[in-house]
A and B are shown apart, each in its own frame.
Chain A
């Protein structure tokens, strides 16, 4: 069975609003070489390999507690797989 070893892009589309500004900034800070595309009402973040969202990074920018479940209020779509969704971190990557 042929499995491609090359890292592929993953990504997430978020609503672009004030509520999500800290979240987007946290993702930018924690993911090197992040590609950002703005479309009306939304922002598309893509990256080769894996994309990480850290609770601590979001909380420090938001100035209040933030549960990773809250990510559900921001997300419009994604590609890749949620390989991790815990109290402190969400990771999007391809498994194979």
Chain B
């Protein structure tokens, strides 16, 4: 090196380092206007007067970011390697546990990648250096999450069905249109709405419900790799939560005209996100052989206690009210998982995961966790499914379900206060009728009908002849499903292999 800069007299403080290496690297353009460089931050109506007010409480610099992310990856990949080398899959509680992981792998990594793309866009197009740098870090995080999730689950792909074509399934299979439509809805919004959608509503309000009990559940079921990538991802997630909170407060502090816009987005994205993680409710309560907590308990702990009684009291200061349809979500906490899993159970012959009737231990846990509502669902559906099974059959719904136009989940949710009457809402727009599972989804449609009328609804697509043909085998072939990917768990290849690996029964050919 020929250049030897003088050493600074003393080490800069964290705050000074952050300011010097993010905010102070910015400059004011003189050859072109700000609007020419940042053309996408005005059309949504959000008014910003001073971008320099956007700060990252983590005070990260490129150097610190790389140092700690590299350490996180070193730790994670050491675990993955040890797990693979020691044949860790044999130590899972049961093979059926993997069904929850299949839904995760099929539904999430591709959208981590989407998030990576959209945060890259923000890292370029946000006007302020604080926002751009935080978005850049999150963009790299999301790419890391996609990679670590795929690496983690690729080991399981060697031993279990339902994991081989997740990428293709994500674009085609009915239940995977739920996360796909959610993320694509957010990506096709403007940058500020994206920040409220993903940064605030998803990351700060709801992601704890997805990751924390679920990853702790992985730890409880012997799934070391998932626990490790999950907690490793969550350590980034804490930064993302901070970005989301910074984003909403920044918008609210910049101009009071931003309040109604932000409130509307919050109302919309709370409900969109809540419906998306309904899938997690079914997974938590029905698909984990050993459970850490029920959906209801997680909802109370991570949403009602932390968010409604904590965060929203804070946001009251700015005039923000709790999300519009939050009471509906609270009222559903006793029934949500029952309804979701019943949908998954009856259509799993057209899915890339297997399901089964809750066994005795599961039922005892459900009874204890949901003393009011479990008996209702047991009598209404599971006793019947059990009778079909006892007679040598397996109940699958032979028809195609109607999907909610907004959340794209089959219409299996019910009227408030009445767990057995299906809720159906309708709106007519330019002579066409659209159906919804709830007031929340209908409200979202009615705000932006020209957006949601374009929904790619898997069932409609089958009827329109766009999914390989009119019969179930045609559609399954177009989906790329193979025997063993879906249907009943008991007797499935995964189940038989599991028994054979543990010397409990010979594998049948």
Contacts and interface: CB of A to CB of B under 8 A. Distances in A.
Same complex origin of A and B: yes
B235 A70 contact: no
Interface stretch (B175-183, B211-219, B328-336, B364-372): B211-219
Contacts of B213: 39
B509 interface: no
B241 interface: yes
Contacts of B292: 39-40
A87 B14 contact: yes
A25 interface: no
B302 to A, nearest CB: 8
A39 B215 CA distance: 10
B13 A76 contact: no
Contacts of A79: 306-307, 310-311
Nearest to B311: A79
A3 B235 contact: no
A96 B14 contact: no
Contacts of A85: 14, 57-59
Contacts of A78: 238, 241
Contact of B235 (A72, A82, A95): A72
Contacts of B314: 81, 94-96
A77 B305 contact: no
Contacts of A11: 306
Given A4-B313, A82-B242, A85-B58, A73 B306 contact: no
Nearest to A75: B238
B15 A86 contact: yes
Contact of A96 (B237, B239, B316): B316
Nearest to A83: B57
A87 B12 CA distance: 10
A70 B68 contact: yes
Contact of A77 (B14, B71, B237, B315): B237
A86 B13 contact: yes
Contacts of B71: 73
Interface in A13-71: 13, 15, 39-42, 68-70
A73 B310 contact: no
Interface of B: 13-15, 57-60, 64, 67-68, 71-72, 75, 208, 211-213, 215-220, 227, 231, 234-235, 237-239, 241-242, 245, 292-293, 305-307, 309-311, 313-317, 319
8 contacts: A40-B292, A42-B219, A69-B64, A74-B235, A76-B238, A78-B241, A87-B14, A94-B313
Given A3-B316, A72-B235, A96-B314, 5 more contacts: A1-B319, A41-B220, A69-B14, A73-B72, A81-B57
